[in-house]
Amino acid sequence: MFVKTWIAPANPVASAGILKMPSTRFPIMRRLVTACLAALPAFALSGCISIGGETELPAAPAATEVKTVEIIKEVRTASTPNLFILYTLKEGVTPEAFEEWVRTTDQPSMRSLARVQEFRTYRSERLLMGEGKPGIAYIEAFAIPDLDGFVAEDMGGATVQTVMGGFMGFAEAPQFIVVSEVK
């Protein structure tokens, strides 16, 4: 019979400085604690003990070369709007009809353009200070990093022309304002 075992040091806890009992006081307690702690690894590592025939345990697999794995994650920087459109609705146009068109036509079409990084439409709710209504009903904010390319190539394209045709049927005197951040 071939047996592989692990033998614990005589007093692993006391030698590590964890258990500091004077040897003259509580000698039986000290021996009991030491014996229990010495046996603990045998219980915890019982899967590592082999009791059986003369055969050796299989060798551990050979170390394999670990290749460097490069993970590339596309990181989009926060976009800053650079085009705002401010407008009210034409007489007879309901906010419900306009907002449905925004959700189903305007936003999907404009967001599909490669140069439009971000596009959102905002409804004005109220004035923060003072009384009365805001002077505009809606604000559209676009982040278009290549604004010159957008104007030169996308503005004349079928997508923008179709959206603009529908938009001009809803909006009263829109103001297209190109902006830059004050830093």
User: Tokens 């079928």 belong to which residue?
Assistant: 158
Residue-level pLDDT at 128? 96
Give the pLDDT band of residue 5 (cuts 50, 70, 90): very low
pTM for this entry: 0.57
Residue 183 pLDDT greater than 80, yes or no? yes
Query: What is the average pLDDT across 106-134?
Result: 96
Give 116: exposed, middle or buried? Use CB within 10 Å, 0-12, 13-18, 19+.
buried
Q: What is the pLDDT of residue 80?
A: 82
What DSSP string describes 99-136?
HHHIIIIIHHHHHTSTT--EEEEEE----SSSSS--S-
- Structural domains present in the chain: 2-52 (no CATH), 83-178 (3.30.70.100)
For residue range 129-153, list pLDDT tens digits in order.
999 999 999 999 999 999 999 999 9
CB 85 within 8 A of CB 164: no
pLDDT-derived band at 163 (thresholds 50, 70, 90) equals very high
Task: Tell me how far apart the alpha carbons of residues 52 and 71 are, in angstroms, rounded to a whole number.
Answer: 47
| CA distances from residue 1 to 57, 126, 149 in whole angstroms, order as listed | 14, 89, 83
Q: Amino acid identity, residue 168?
A: M
Q: Mean per-residue pLDDT for 48-74?
A: 60
Q: Is pLDDT larger for residue 40 or for residue 82? A: 82
pLDDT tens column, 7-58: 445 554 444 555 444 555 556 656 665 665 665 555 555 555 555 555 565 6
The helix/strand/coil state of 59 is coil
